[in-house]
A and B are shown apart, each in its own frame.
Chain A
């Protein structure tokens, strides 16, 4: 009888699977960035009740939330070629449908999906920003855009970070659906591997381990990021030196270092989350 489970294979699979990690990360990061930008746009449209656009975006959000991601991926996979054929036909252009990378279909589907889900979170976070701070910025003479950039977004980020972080983790795992558009991400790579030795169970265990570790790492990064962004709430906390605090999402908060005693006689208020 052959071995029921090939334990070493679970681990020797991992380096081979990791070859496709860049594809997984690429989809995750691009979809998140586009999802955030478009999500912010949708949120601003909804908050300002911009006619026509806000109705269109409401239908869009409802559609995305009301349909399975897998179905959205298939729609994107088939819609883009049809769209190109249309453009070719009416503009007499000659785009090659087959030359469009499969990754594009996947990116479009994931980005739109993220945008729809993020837009509601972003909207709630924007609305939670203290009116008084916004008025202070306005009365200093800031333009609408400056107020958004300097006050509203930084404050909303702190509020939205936990939910956006979860969305990011969810997206990272959902990228495993990319195989339906014949993109070779980690999961697809696993299927290819297993196709040659029929060790499906081992390969899916290897994949599970990788995704799990990636999630744990992401959670830790998010925790650090949250700590960094909420530094202003920690009244007497000693802050790590600047060199260990440099993140891709760095904000221009120069953090002071306090010892416990210097503020002990101060009326320090309890941290109030916005």
Chain B
């Protein structure tokens, strides 16, 4: 359960969003769409406290953040509710695939090496990279890197998985393998709350239970995929979708 109330975030006195409210139930799959620079990443990063909101509050299950301050200890507890998959993968380059996935289990969750490896192996298997388990990130394709990123996040057994444009740094032919992996995760882990920012609109439409449309200043509207994609209420949503359809046709 996520409850975001009156959230405000500024960068150097430039407001990204103001008084933003959003409630998400456990097990929901929320797709966030919207134009570039709208503040989608900023919201997701606030949920992981990689950015500190200036006002408002975020509650995730039993953990609560009330802007603007949080102690280092509470911040770490808060972060353990969520797990982030990054656009640029952000794998630990000095560690193998296995090392990337065990890192958090050993360092943060204080599991034994053996236990961590058992969990990691299962997770790596789930994203189909068992034959690459001893490879370094440098030796992987972009799609494989992102699947490691997903495995690393899921191994931590978060309640909430945050994905920030997980496929937009990938060559077109590598996008599908990552989307398939995400779809499998969504289908097999019904209690996992997923928030995904993506420009892969047809994928979002298939996988999400709810769509949130973002534009500069905050949320424009939200609804089921059918509502948003076939009968959008707001002009800004229509414009955004039209622009996207045109781009999809020309590309």
Contacts and interface: CB of A to CB of B under 8 A. Distances in A.
> Do these two chains really belong together in a complex?
yes
Interface of A: 130, 132-133, 135-144, 146, 150-151, 154-155, 158, 231-233, 235-236, 251, 253-254, 256, 258, 263, 266-269, 271, 274
Given A146-B107, A267-B141, A268-B138, A141 B92 contact: no
A162 to B, nearest CB: 17
Contacts of A256: 96, 134-136
Given A135-B86, A139-B50, A235 B107 contact: no
Contacts of A136: 84, 86, 90-92, 152
Given A132-B88, A235-B138, A268-B139, A140 B104 contact: yes
B140 interface: yes
Contact of B96 (A140, A254, A274): A254
Contacts of A150: 103, 107
A109 B3 CA distance: 58
A150 B156 CA distance: 17
B146 interface: no
Contacts, number: 100
B79 A141 contact: yes
A266 B139 contact: yes
Most buried by B among A150, A253, A274: A150
Interface of B: 48, 50, 72, 76-77, 79-80, 82-84, 86, 88-96, 99, 103-104, 107-108, 134-142, 152, 156
Contacts of B72: 143-144
A139 B142 CA distance: 21
A154 B94 contact: yes
Contact of A141 (B80, B89, B96, B137): B80
B50 A135 contact: yes
Given A138-B79, A139-B84, A155 B108 contact: no
A233 B136 CA distance: 8
Contact of B139 (A130, A139, A140, A235): A235
Nearest to B84: A139
A250 to B, nearest CB: 13
Contacts of B152: 136, 140
B194 to A, nearest CB: 16
A147 B195 CA distance: 25
A136 B99 CA distance: 14
Given A133-B90, A151-B92, A138 B139 contact: no
Nearest to A251: B94
A140 B90 contact: no
A256 B92 CA distance: 16
B93 A155 contact: yes
A266 B141 contact: yes
15 contacts: A132-B90, A135-B86, A138-B79, A139-B82, A139-B83, A139-B84, A140-B108, A140-B152, A142-B104, A142-B108, A154-B94, A232-B136, A232-B138, A253-B94, A269-B138
Contacts of B88: 132
Contacts of A266: 139-141
A42 B12 CA distance: 29
Contacts of A231: 136
A154 B94 CA distance: 8
A143 B79 CA distance: 11
A151 B104 CA distance: 12
Top 10 nearest A-B pairs (CB, nearest first) are: A256-B134, A132-B90, A140-B104, A136-B90, A267-B141, A232-B136, A139-B84, A141-B108, A141-B79, A141-B80
Given A232-B94, A253-B94, A256-B96, A141 B136 contact: no
Nearest to A263: B139
B242 to A, nearest CB: 33
Given A235-B139, A256-B134, A266-B139, A139 B48 contact: yes
A142 B95 contact: no
B138 A233 contact: yes
B50 A155 contact: no
